[in-house]
Chains A and B, each alone.
Chain A
């Protein structure tokens, strides 16, 4: 059947799709391309150079921001993953649970509410109760909005896994926690891993909350990038952005690949 007579073929749709993917990746490509620009003006190309990467790696403010981001992201990821794992265990294994739907909505609440409102609300609460430790403020806030991103892959993995394994372990007199540690946890590990990585990326990339709660001493990488943008665009800014893009893409790709593989096996 030629495409002219194929009822499923729509002339023009293929072209729109190609243009769409071009448009989706062109901005990212532009940022990466100009990070190798030798010129001080970001979008005036004058030759290839990696000097902006060298400059970025010697920039103490940048490295400080990176350290803050990593501290917050790693801690928030651990907290969010543990909270999500515990909630997912209960929500997938007890169909008759009271308030099951409500609890599930509560876990996913950060996805439903506008981040700016939550950020402002946290700022007011934290300043009212005298919670002033900048790093701790960020960790608490990030843990909350990372939880649904850790929760969804873990729940998907648990839902795709039969409860028979745990029951078999318990029939063999394994204590509940032993059954979890030796049977359930190894089986859902891909989901836990994927969830943790997505939570990590979301925390590393966050701007709105980190900016609102920033006390000066706790500038995260995206907040630092924002302050650079305000000062004017430079190729060094592109080099920093490129590093952040690559880190996000690699970790997200790993997470998606792991959860896709786990789904196929399950």
Chain B
């Protein structure tokens, strides 16, 4: 069996090196390459693609500061943060109610939370396209209430789609944290004349915090790279980093610039993951 210790892991390492690590190195190389004349790229070393994120050329060929891509990065961060915050606010009461049911009911409700996650992302986003559209249930209610224009193609529509896509990833860890909570602590709170809400704030929330933090990572990271919500619900005008990257390999065809934006997105994700790993390590050291 000794040989298997090595050979058993070779397929997994081989697959991930070939399909993730090597490609990422090449993306890094392309992000400092020159733009090809007919799409694609030519090997070189230039920081031009990164400069393009911040600057653009004016009529005289001078580089001037241009915040249009910075705005996209800002929108990406803002929407991912808002998605995470809304998911937290929703998951707390829902996970709490689920955790206080009978074991059978708990299992059934958790199953119901997980299930939509397995439905194709494109179908889930398409569903919101129908609902929010001018003929849709919510779209018509909006018009009847005197709302102007369409609900689609706004940041709000994207936010609804993102919360809908990622909420199961928040409910599950928060539920796991609340389930571990000792009910005696809540009774102790009540015995000491704390109101329900004081107990919620001073007892439940601090003890649920690890679950919320885990959920925040699980939601925030994929939300940063989300593509379908801005593409369909944002209507292509409200770009996010995911759609910006994608567009550089489609119609606009500036591969080095697309690779540079992809690396910036990677760096943001890695920073979040490192911060999370350090937090987990500090917690382990304390325990």
Please say whether chains A and B are actual partners in one complex: yes
Which positions in A face B, CB cutoff 8 Å? Answer: 7-10, 12-14, 16-17, 20-21, 23-28, 30-31, 34, 41-44, 79, 82-84, 86-87, 89-91, 94, 97, 103, 106-107, 109-110, 112-118, 120-125, 127-128, 140-141, 143-144, 147, 176, 198, 201, 204-205, 207-208, 212, 222, 225-226, 229, 233, 237-238, 241, 244-245, 248-249, 251-253, 256, 260
Which positions in B face A, CB cutoff 8 Å? Answer: 1, 4-5, 8-9, 11-13, 15-16, 18-20, 22-24, 26-27, 30, 40, 90, 93-94, 96-98, 100, 107, 109, 111-116, 118-124, 126-131, 133, 135-137, 164, 167, 183, 186-187, 189-190, 196, 199-200, 221-222, 224-225, 227-228, 232, 242, 245-246, 249, 255, 258-259, 262, 265-266, 269, 273
Known: A17-B94, A205-B118, A252-B118. A86 touches B26 (CB 8 A): no
Q: Told that A79-B15, A124-B27 touch, could you supply 8 new A-B pairs with CB distance under 8 A?
A: A7-B199, A13-B93, A25-B112, A27-B124, A28-B119, A114-B242, A233-B126, A233-B133
The residue on B at minimum CB distance from A25 is B116
Flag if A17 contacts B98 (CB, 8 Å): yes
Contact with A125, one of B22, B130, B187, B265 (Cβ below 8 angstroms): B22
Contact with B131, one of A30, A44, A89, A244 (Cβ below 8 angstroms): A30
Flag if B258 contacts A140 (CB, 8 Å): no
Give Cα distance in the complex from A21 to B13, angstroms.
Answer: 40
Known: A113-B20, A117-B265, A144-B16. A225 touches B122 (CB 8 A): yes
Give Cα distance in the complex from A30 to B115, angstroms.
Answer: 16
The residue on B at minimum CB distance from A207 is B122
Give Cα distance in the complex from A16 to B116, angstroms.
Answer: 18
> What are 30 inter-chain pairs, A to B, with CB distance below 8 A?
A12-B93, A16-B97, A23-B164, A24-B167, A26-B131, A28-B124, A30-B127, A82-B11, A87-B12, A94-B5, A103-B13, A106-B16, A109-B16, A112-B273, A114-B222, A114-B266, A115-B222, A116-B245, A116-B265, A117-B266, A118-B20, A120-B249, A120-B262, A124-B26, A125-B26, A140-B19, A248-B120, A249-B115, A253-B115, A256-B111
The residue on B at minimum CB distance from A229 is B126
Flag if A229 contacts B93 (CB, 8 Å): no
Q: What residues of chain B lie closer than 8 Å to A260, measured between beta carbons?
A: 107
Give the interface SS of chain B, mostly helix, strand, loop or mixed.
helix
Flag if B186 contacts A7 (CB, 8 Å): yes
Give Cα distance in the complex from A237 to B199, angstroms.
Answer: 49
Known: A25-B116, A207-B228. A17 touches B16 (CB 8 A): no
The residue on A at minimum CB distance from B194 is A7
Flag if A43 contacts B122 (CB, 8 Å): no
Contact with A43, one of B94, B137, B189 (Cβ below 8 angstroms): B137
Least distance between B11 CB and chain A CB atoms (Å): 4
